[in-house]
């Protein structure tokens, strides 16, 4: 335990010391990025240690991690590494330097507590910390588009936070009624107060994940914001929020009275989200918009798994473990791919102008193809196993939901395959791919492939 807390404080310390050190170093110094890499490395070790020791209990039970959250912590650290690698040295030359290098470790630190939170107030506190980091990061490049995206993100995020506050309040009311602290969902009933409390949570978290119809900010922010920043928001930060919502849904649905109701709400949102994302992505000619809508669709698949978890939560079945593992795999596959792909559109997002961008480098083009195919769900890549186990677990709940998800998956092949074709086309592109983005793509693809080979073994070992 000491090692874990020591490591976490180390990450926090690095985050805090970077602004101070920046006063004494030049922009070209490798010290600041080096420290960020050190923080990422420490966080990887912390995640591995958490996985090895899981379940662990910190601060008298206020922060608890199990295997599921530990896997997500490792995914978060890997996504952070990919995002930082993709950005190269560019953030060092922004006016806002060294904020980027400081905020990445801070976000990692916040994610650890958010994922482990066992109390509504701690959820609110970590939510605010991580959200504010993401708002600030969106504004860091300080160009007009980034500022616009950040403002949109902040305003809508503030409203979402209000809904989260409603949930926190309701949670405490219900807790005092039930006479216990922490998550109060064991005391959820079918009264209308419980409904409002629960739905406020779904509206708040729905905003963070981009669940239709709470997703409005996402296409704008993802397509206007700087690619390196979107890489952070859609990679490490989103994985953390997926973990949080999964954990809360699992706890709240343990109450059999509300389990099926939550499941059906999530299933309806899943269908809306998948379908909206996939159809909107079909004909877009902008790579960032394509990735943005594809993000919505991917969250739709995760919601399919979440509805299965809500349904299975009160039951004593190994399927629940498979559903949790599936969400962990899918979130990892999603986060790692998107963290590497969004930077492609950092300077130019028109697919027409990007045609042939990857043709010059076979390794990068194969890697990018693998990432898109993983998102599509092609074996043996990680995205395939994520979807397979998600749909398998969901089949215990609703075959119709699985059928709709499969149809959606089929629709998505149109734009993923088109994107691959355009990016690797033999035409001469108008822009060139920066080496650090290519390196991030290759790193991510290797991770997706290796994890894809391990994934079935991992899931089998769980069951």
Partner 1 sequence: MTVTGLMPWSLIWIFPYIGAAVLALLYLLGVKNEKIYAWGSVASIGVSAILSTLAAQQVFSNGPIYSLYGKVWVPWLDITVGTYLDGLGVVMALVVSWISLLIAIYSVKYMEGDWGAARYFFFITFFVASMLLLVLADNLVLLFIGWEGTGIASYALIGHWYTDEEEYWVGVPGRKALGQPMYFEPSHSGVRAILFTRIGDIGLLIGMAVIYLITGTFNIPELAATSSSWLGYLATKGILVPVLLLFSLGALAKSAQFPFHEWLVTAMTGPTPVSALIHAATMVKAGVYFMLRFVPIIFAGAYALLHTDPAVVESVKEYFLIISGLGAITAFMMGTMALVSNELKLILAYSTASQLGYMFLGAAAAGLLIEAGYEGLSLGISAGLSHLVSHAVFKAALFLIAGWLLHAAHSRFIDPMGKYAKVMKITAVSMWLAGLSLMGIPPLSGFFSKELVLKAAEEAHFTWGYTLGVVTAAITAAYTLRMILRVFHLEPYEKHEGHEVHEAPGLMLWPYTILAIASLVLGLYWTGTSQAISKAVAETLSIGEGISLTVSLTGAVLMVLGLVAASIVIVATLYLVVKVDFPGLIKRSALARAIHDFLYDRWYINSIYYIVIVGGFAALASAVAIVDFGIDIFYHFAIPIVFAAGAAALRTLHRGRTDYYMMLYLYFAAIVLLFLYLAWG
The residues that touch partner 1, with contacts defined as CB under 8 A, are 148, 151-152, 155-156, 159-160, 163, 190-192, 194-196, 199-200, 203, 207, 213-214, 216-217, 219-220, 224, 261, 265, 276, 279-284, 289, 293, 411
* Least CB distance to partner 1 at residue 307 (A): 15
Closest Cα to residue 336, out of 279, 299, 382?
382
Contact 131, 154 (CB under 8 A): no
Residue 27 CB, nearest distance to partner 1 (Å)? 32
Residue with structure tokens 């992505």?
281
Q: Which is nearer to partner 1, 13 or 411 (CB)?
A: 411
- Cβ proximity to partner 1: between 124 and 281 the closer is 281
Minimum CB distance to partner 1, residue 206 (Å): 9
Q: Please, which residue, 181 or 199, has the CB nearer to partner 1?
A: 199
| Rg (alpha carbons) of the chain, rounded to whole number | 21
Cβ distance to partner 1 smaller for residue 113 or 127: 127
What is d(CA 183, CA 175) in angstroms, rounded to the nearest whole number? Answer: 8
Q: Which long-range contacts (CB under 8 A, 24 or more apart) does 44-53 make?
A: 44/74, 44/77, 44/78, 44/81, 45/7, 46/3, 46/4, 46/7, 46/8, 46/11, 46/73, 46/112, 47/73, 47/74, 47/76, 47/77, 48/74, 49/3, 49/4, 49/7, 50/4, 53/1, 53/4
In the complex, minimum distance from the CB of residue 273 to partner 1, in angstroms, rounded to a whole number: 12
Comparing CB distances to partner 1, the nearer of 47 and 194 is: 194
Closest to partner 1 by CB, 14 vs 266, is 266
Smallest separation (angstroms) from partner 1 to the CB of 444: 27
Query: Residue 328 in contact with residue 459, Cβ under 8 Å?
Result: no
Q: Which two tokens stand for residue 401?
A: 């939901």
Quick one: how many helices (H) and strands (E) in the chain? 18, 2
Q: How far is the CB of 124 from partner 1 (least distance, A)?
A: 18
Our CB check for partner 1 shows the closer of 292 and 302 to be: 292
Q: What minimum distance in Å lies between the beta carbon of 85 and partner 1? A: 30
The answer to whether residues 462 and 317 touch, using CB atoms and an 8 Å cutoff, is: no
Tokens 């020791």 found at = 53
Cα distance between residue 336 and residue 321, in whole Å: 22
């Amino acid at each position: 335990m000491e090692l874990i807390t020591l490591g976490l404080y180390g990450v926090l310390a690095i985050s805090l010391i970077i602004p101070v050190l920046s006063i004494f170093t030049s922009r070209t110094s490798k010290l600041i990025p080096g420290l960020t890499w050190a923080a990422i490395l420490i966080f990887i070790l912390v995640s591995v240690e958490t996985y090895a020791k899981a379940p662990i209990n910190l601060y008298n039970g206020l922060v608890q991690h199990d295997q599921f959250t530990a896997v997500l912590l490792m995914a978060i650290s890997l996504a952070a590494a990919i995002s930082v690698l993709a950005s190269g040295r560019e953030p060092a030359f922004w006016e806002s330097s060294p904020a980027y290098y400081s905020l990445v470790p801070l976000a990692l630190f916040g994610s650890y507590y958010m994922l482990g939170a066992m109390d509504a107030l701690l959820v609110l506190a970590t939510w605010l910390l991580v959200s504010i980091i993401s708002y600030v990061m969106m504004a860091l490049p300080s160009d007009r588009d980034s500022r616009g995206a950040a403002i949109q993100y902040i305003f809508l995020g503030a409203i979402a936070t209000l809904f989260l506050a409603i949930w926190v309040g309701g949670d405490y009311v219900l807790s005092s009624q039930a006479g216990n602290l922490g998550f109060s969902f064991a005391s959820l009933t079918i009264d209308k107060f419980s409904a409002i409390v629960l739905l406020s949570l779904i509206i708040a978290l729905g905003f963070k994940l981009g669940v239709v119809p709470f997703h409005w900010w996402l296409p704008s922010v993802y397509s206007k914001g700087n690619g390196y920043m979107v890489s952070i928001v859609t990679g490490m930060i989103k994985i953390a929020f997926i973990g949080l919502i999964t954990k809360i849904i699992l706890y709240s649905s343990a109450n059999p009275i509300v389990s099926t109701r939550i499941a059906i709400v999530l299933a309806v949102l899943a269908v809306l989200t998948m379908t909206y994302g996939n159809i909107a992505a079909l004909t877009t000619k902008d790579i960032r918009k394509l990735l943005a809508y594809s993000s919505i669709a991917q969250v739709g698949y995760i919601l399919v798994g979440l509805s299965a978890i809500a349904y299975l939560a009160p039951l004593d079945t190994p399927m629940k473990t498979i559903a949790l593992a599936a969400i962990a795999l899918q979130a990892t596959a999603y986060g790692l791919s998107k963290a590497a792909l969004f930077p492609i559109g950092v300077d130019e997002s028109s697919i027409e102008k990007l045609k042939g961008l990857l043709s010059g480098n076979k390794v990068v083009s194969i890697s990018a193809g693998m990432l898109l195919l993983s998102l599509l769900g092609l074996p043996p890549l990680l995205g395939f196993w994520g979807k397979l186990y998600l749909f398998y677990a969901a089949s215990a709940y609703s075959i119709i939901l699985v059928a709709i998800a499969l149809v959606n998956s089929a629709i998505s092949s149109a734009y993923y395959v088109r994107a691959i074709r355009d990016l690797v086309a033999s035409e001469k592109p108008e822009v060139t791919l920066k080496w650090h983005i290519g390196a991030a793509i290759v790193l991510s693809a290797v991770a997706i492939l290796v994890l894809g080979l391990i994934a079935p073994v991992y899931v089998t070992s769980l069951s």
